[in-house]
Amino acid sequence: MMVAGKAKTSAVQAVESAESGGAKSPEAALVALVKGGDREAFGRLYDLYAPMVHGILLARVPFDEVGDLVQDVFLVAFRKLATLRDEAAFGGWLAMIARNRAMDFHRQSRETEALSDELPNRTTPGREAAEVLDVIRSLPEAYCETLVLRLVEGMTGPEIAGRTGLQPDSVRVNLHRGMKLLREKLGIGKDV
């Protein structure tokens, strides 16, 4: 407990010092702490980045698989963190791991048998939400991912850009074009 408490304190101090004008961003400071063996700092990174990973996965895999895959993505990231050279690029690196994990999921699910309907689903989203999500998934990948992060995870455009490592202009364009396509597909107000 004492060790965990000390680690948490050091992580908070590192982030606070980064936020108060240090050279590194708070995320980079946390990554540096994790590399130094601070497991609590990784918990903090999980809190910051789990919605992004969840959104990226939700744009690609079934809803009831997303929770486990989020855990997988963070375990892979923790294991491979030593290979990350630029600590400030953690978000883009993690997003890429999540995308690759979704691709692996589809590759593996093709080789295994489909689950029967009798198996209980952990959580079943509402019918309307599932339908809207299906429409969003039918959009081009760049629009789909950005819209899920915005509409499902509730992240703003600047947050999406900051977490995923994408350019803010790209995110803005993807959001507006994706929203336009979604409105057209859903048949809702075009002039909004």
Nearer residue to other proteins within complex by CB, 34 or 102: 34
Binding mask 154-173 for other proteins (x = CB under 8 A): x-xxx-------------x-
Residue type, 119: L
CB 73 within 8 A of CB 97: yes
Query: Rounded to whole angstroms, how far apart are CA atoms 181 and 185?
Result: 6
Selected from 14, 28, 34, 98, the binder of other proteins by CB under 8 A is 34
Q: What is the Cβ-side half-sphere exposure of residue 172, based on CA atoms within 13 angstroms?
A: 4
Length of the chain: 192
**Cβ proximity to other proteins, 12 vs 32, nearer residue:** 32
Number of other residues whose CB lies within 10 A of the CB of residue 112: 7
Interface segment toward other proteins; rule CB under 8 A; list 3-11, 13-21, 98-106, 121-129: 121-129
Using the contact rule CB under 8 A, the part of the chain among 6-14, 96-104, 105-113, 180-188 near other proteins is 180-188
75 binds other proteins (CB under 8 A): yes
Residues 87-116 within binding reach of other proteins (CB under 8 A): none
Measured CA to CA, the distance from residue 97 to residue 77 in angstroms comes to: 7
CA distance 154 to 171: 14
Report the distance separating Cα 186 and Cα 182, nearest Å: 6
- As a whole number of angstroms, the distance between CA 151 and CA 154 comes to 5
Which one, 5 or 125, has the nearer CB to other proteins?
A: 125
187 contacts other proteins (rule: CB under 8 A):
no
| Residue ranges in contact with other proteins by CB under 8 A | 34-35, 37, 39, 42-43, 46-47, 50-51, 54-55, 58, 63, 67, 70-71, 74-75, 78-79, 81-82, 125-126, 128-129, 132-133, 148, 150-154, 156-158, 172, 175-176, 179, 182-183, 188-189, 192
